[in-house]
Amino acid sequence: MRDSPVHIVFVGAGAVGCFYASRLHHPTHNVYTSLIARSNYSALAASGVTLQTHTFGDYTFTPHAVFPSVAAAAVSPNPISAPGPCPWDYVIVTTKALPDLTDDAALIAPLIGPRTTIVLIQNGVGVEAPYRARFPHTPIISAVTVVSAEQTSPGTIRQNRWTRIHLGPYSNSASFSGSGGADGDAELETRGRDAAERLGDYWARLGGIRDVEVSDEIGLQIVRWHKLCINAAFNPSAVLAGGRGNAEMVSDDKGELRVHLAGVMREIWDAMPRILGRPFPEGLAGPDKIIKSTERNVGSRPSMLLDWEAGRHLELEVILGNPVRIARGRGVELPRMQAMYALLGSAVGVRERERKAKL
């Protein structure tokens, strides 16, 4: 048991946030986890989070505190026993990554103190850069999860399968932004790595998550870009193909969609040595294996397609725009990715203009 309590707050109490928060709240071990909610605040404040999980069964998670806003959480992790400004140990961002819509690095600024580590559990690449720019001396943990979770009603989270989470420090925005610049900051990387080890330990030892992995900085970016192969191929294509699920696309009659999906993944795969300075390690599932395993993933519909159908904002910039720009900054063109970015970006723009015209 630690002498001093560890206070953790999640910004974004959706599917991923509530699931991982529920595995991180252990008052008997002095680890206290709170949530900042938005549309589901009333439900969470009244009854906590109802979890229906494939891995851990059904249970209720009662957070240490539920806040209706960042401003409320900035006052104190525990307004009753510890009044006054009290910095959080971990601020874990689990909003959708929508840098073209909101500046979430600015949003969390009131929560960041001298002992805070920022953790980003989001899809896409380049998500860390705005945080590093705004908080040059704060350790950042970049995190990639393979989980399937959804909020089925306000405050009720269903985890359908998987729990995998990779953590790694992120020290230097320049090295992954394509803008060139200084080497990573060794001290920040060490502090980030230590913070990642501690957080991983809470999830694994206290929270029972079996597949927590902590990597070094470049190792984590490799995991990010590998996941991007899947997300960048399937998510935008599902929308552009007219609303098709993953298995449906790889089994398409004409076979052209399957060629396209493999082509997107291969494009990222081949560009890795020039983007991250090293190829994907042997043993990682390659495009052919991913396509093959997707044949069995019947019924799965990518989150971007669900967001498109619901008229929500898409994670277009972190899934397509950032990779295209980061690669271009390294002198590498990703033409298949660029084509999807241009087409889907245009479709989003047209729809938004139509929506505004109807108001």
- Examine residue 111 and tell whether it contacts ligand NAP (CB under 6 A): no
Considering only the stretches 77-85, 110-118, 148-156, 186-194, report the one whose residues sit in contact with ligand NAP under the rule CB under 6 A. 148-156
Q: CB-based contacts of 312: which residues, under 8 Å, 6+ apart?
A: none
Q: Which of 148, 156, 251, 297 binds ligand NAP (CB under 6 A)?
A: 148
By CB under 6 A, what part of segment 236-255 binds ligand NAP? none
With CB under 6 A as the rule, give the number of residues binding ligand NAP.
27
Q: How many whole angstroms from its chain centre is CA 358?
A: 33
CA distances from 89 to 13, 92, 213, 244 (A): 18, 10, 20, 42
Task: Please check whether residue 108 is in contact with residue 93, taking contact to mean a CB–CB distance below 8 angstroms.
Answer: yes
Rg of the chain (C-alpha set): 20
17 binds ligand NAP (CB under 6 A): yes
CB closer to ligand NAP out of 97 and 276: 97
Distance (Å) of CA 347 to CA 240, 331, 351? 9, 27, 6
Site for ligand NAP contains 122 (CB under 6 A): yes
Among 12, 139, 169, 287, binds ligand NAP (CB under 6 A): 12
| Least spacing, CB of residue 19 vs ligand NAP, in Å | 8
Q: Which stretch binds ligand NAP (CB under 6 A): 11-19, 21-29, 165-173, 279-287?
A: 11-19
User: In angstroms, what is the minimal distance from the CB of 204 to ligand NAP?
Assistant: 19
Per rule CB under 6 A, is residue 145 in the interface with ligand NAP? Answer: yes
- Residue of 72, 62, 168, 63 whose CA lies nearest to 111: 72
Q: Segment 285-344, which members bind ligand NAP (CB under 6 A)?
A: 303, 315
Could you tell me whether strands 140-153 and 66-67 are parallel, antiparallel, or unpaired per DSSP bridges?
unpaired
Based on the shown chain and the rule CB under 6 A, indicate whether residue 95 belongs to the binding site for ligand NAP: yes
Residue 93 is a binding residue for ligand NAP (CB under 6 A): no
**CA–CA separation, 6 and 150 (whole Å):** 27
User: Would you say 144 or 261 has its CB closer to ligand NAP?
Assistant: 144
Torsion of CA 54, 68, 142, 340, to 10 degrees: 80
What pairing do the DSSP bridges indicate for beta strands 156-170 and 140-153?
antiparallel
Query: Which stretch of DSSP H or E encloses residue 130?
Result: helix 129-134
Around 302, how many Cα atoms within 13 Å sit in the side-chain half-sphere?
A: 30
Residue 168 lies near ligand NAP (rule: CB under 6 A): no
Does 149 participate in binding ligand NAP (rule CB under 6 A)?
yes
Which positions from 29 through 68 interact with ligand NAP, judged by CB under 6 A?
A: 36, 38-40
Element (H, E) at 58: strand 57-61
Nearer to ligand NAP by C-beta: 13 or 111?
13
Instruction: State in angstroms the smallest separation of the CB of 162 from ligand NAP.
Output: 8
Contact call for residue 132 and ligand NAP (CB under 6 A): no
Question: How many CB atoms neighbour CB 91 within 10 A?
Answer: 26
**Could you list the residues that contact ligand NAP (CB under 6 A)?**
11-17, 36, 38-40, 94-97, 107, 121-123, 145, 147-151, 303, 315
